[in-house]
Amino acid sequence: MTHPGEITRRQLLRRIGLTAIAAGPGAGLLTACATGGGAEPAASAGASAAASNLVSAANPLGVDAKKPLEVVIFSGGYSDAYAKDVHEPLYSKAHAGVQIKHVGTQNIGTQLRPRFLSGDVPDVVNNSGPEALDLAALAAEGHLADLTPLWDAPSVDDPSKKVRDTITPAAIENAKLNGQDLVLNYTVSHRALWYDAKLFAAKGWTLPETWEEFKALGETAKKEGIVLFAYPGQKGPYYQLWNMLYTAAKIGGNQVIIDIDNLVDNAWKSEAVKASVTAWLEIQTAYGDKAYLGLDHTQTQVKHLQHKVLFYPCGSWLENEMVKDKPKDFEYAIAPVPSVTAADKMPYGAIQVGVGENFVVAAKGKNPQGGLEYFRIMLSKEGAKGFTEKTKNLTVVNGAAEGLDLTPGLVSAAKAQDAAGQDIITDARFEGWYKELFDFAWQQQNTLMAGRLTVDEYLNRVQKKADDIKADSSIAKQTRNV
């Protein structure tokens, strides 16, 4: 099931220029200062710009080039070269004489929590990685700038079009907090199981489409000293939480995830979630290796490249993240999760396709107009194309991938999405809405996978956490219909 704010095969391939190819967080940051009730109205970064004499056709957001701009980028899977080499130079070219302070870090939370608490905030934040800030808490404190002026501003490429009309609608619809436009989701990502297509071809293996075939391949791989499946227990364990949730959606339909997002009573204890968690615990117990629970994402991904792991759950940023370590004879490809039961509501080919990689402008920063303008430049075709060239990942900008030489992994993802058709698994939004719940769920998941919890104990614990959040009036609640 899809909806107008969700990416479908035709929408995505048409809008990002992939029609010719038929053949991938963050939200209890400010728990020390979050307040009760609903979110404060977002500060409108465009309000002062509208009254500024700096506003012109060439400068619709009223940017003052005398004001420096500070940009903080999560230097993980995408690195931060796209900001340093593409977006920041484009901003400097558009606003001559501007000073840009660039900060690249893999520790967003550690670096920025104290700054938000003190009021000394950067202008642009790429909020991603294991330490991603709690965007719902930031919104409740009025720290996130309203992006409406950006969406209504003229596009860099075609001033007759608003920025909102040049990107896939999911980039706006799926990022709303309390109905407000506070977050830019910049990338299109595919989350499923990644494998080496050349290894499968050399071995004569076919992709398993059922759980029984998955286990049979596990027996074959075990004889060759290969772990069927592994995920990182450190700095990336949420990859497996995504995996279990999206498997549950294949079993019971997208309503399973919608109910979890909406804090519906006993949503975590549904038959579909229980079946998914049970199935993955079975794989971990019979064909996994607990040693991986002590490794981080990079270490686990290196093991994958060394053919010590057959399938790895991740998003389509993986190929670029490992480009320096990838052997020449390794070819990334994407595979849907095998069907767990014959009665699964979604077919084998269903995969998760969503928008992500959160960017926000600090409403209380020194240069919010500059932050919005930086986003406008990111959403130009030149800015988006440069990002794809640097990261080998797609953006939400329509047509920006046209003419690019895409990597095997990205082509594989596009083919998988084409095969899925309308059977697209919805995104789990509670990750951004209730980060405390999301973090608790993957932390308990590690305990489960280590054999120290039963499936029922795991589900009871996570459901109890969801119930506590639902009952806590100090936490602003979000809802979705589809």
In this prediction, residue 168 carries a pLDDT of 84
d(CA 143, CA 150): 17
Q: Are 448 and 455 a contacting pair, CB within 8 Å?
A: yes
376-387 per-position pLDDT tens digit = 999 999 999 999
In this prediction, residue 388 carries a pLDDT of 93
d(CA 161, CA 358): 24
pTM as predicted = 0.78
Tell me the three state secondary structure of residue 378. helix
Q: β-pairing, 184-196 with 351-361? A: antiparallel
Cα angle 136, 141, 115 (rounded to 5 degrees) comes to 95
In this prediction, residue 326 carries a pLDDT of 97
In this prediction, residue 38 carries a pLDDT of 44
In this prediction, residue 52 carries a pLDDT of 64
Q: Are 231 and 312 a contacting pair, CB within 8 Å?
A: yes
In this prediction, residue 482 carries a pLDDT of 84
* CA 248 to each of CA 224, 271, 272, 340, 425: distance values in angstroms, whole numbers, following the listed order: 30, 9, 5, 9, 10
d(CA 289, CA 310): 12
Nearest residue to 351 (alpha-carbon basis) of 300, 427, 271, 277: 427
| Residue 371 parent element (H or E) | helix 368-378
**What are 26's two structure tokens?**
């963050």
In this prediction, residue 50 carries a pLDDT of 43
Tens-of-pLDDT digits for all 482 residues of the chain? 334 344 444 444 444 444 433 333 333 333 333 333 344 545 544 445 444 689 999 999 999 999 999 999 999 989 999 999 999 999 999 999 999 999 999 999 999 999 999 999 999 999 999 899 999 999 999 999 999 999 999 999 999 999 999 998 888 888 888 889 999 999 998 999 999 999 999 999 999 999 999 999 999 999 999 999 999 999 999 999 999 999 999 999 999 999 999 999 999 999 999 999 999 999 999 999 999 999 999 999 999 999 999 999 999 999 989 999 999 999 999 999 999 999 999 999 999 988 889 999 999 999 999 999 999 999 999 999 999 999 988 899 988 888 888 899 999 998 998 899 889 999 999 998 999 999 999 999 999 999 999 999 999 999 999 999 999 999 989 999 88
- Where would I find the beta strands (DSSP E) of 132-261? 184-196, 227-229
Supply the DSSP string of 288-332, one letter for each residue.
--GGGGGS-HHHHHHHHHTTSEEEEEE-TTHHHHTTTT--TT--E
In this prediction, residue 167 carries a pLDDT of 93
d(CA 265, CA 270): 10
| Side chain identity, residue 367 | N
| Residue 71 parent element (H or E) | strand 69-74
**Residue in the block written with tokens 């990182």:** 232
Contacts of 282 (CB under 8 A, 6+ apart): 215
d(CA 192, CA 313): 6
Contacts of 339 (CB under 8 A, 6+ apart): 209, 210, 211, 250, 347, 348
| 455-471 and 271-287 helices, crossing angle to 10° | 140
d(CA 59, CA 63): 7
Q: Are 446 and 230 a contacting pair, CB within 8 Å?
A: no
**What are 468's two structure tokens?**
């506590």
In this prediction, residue 42 carries a pLDDT of 54
* CA 459 to each of CA 211, 237, 276, 384: distance values in angstroms, whole numbers, following the listed order: 22, 17, 11, 41
In this prediction, residue 402 carries a pLDDT of 84
Cα 430 versus chain centre, distance: 12
Burial 338-377 (b: 16+ CB within 10 A, else e): bbbeeebbbebbbbbbbbbbbbbbbbebebbbbbbbbbbb
- Catalogue all structural domains in the chain, each as residue range(s) with its CATH number: 24-189+354-409 (3.40.190.10), 193-351+428-471 (3.40.190.10)
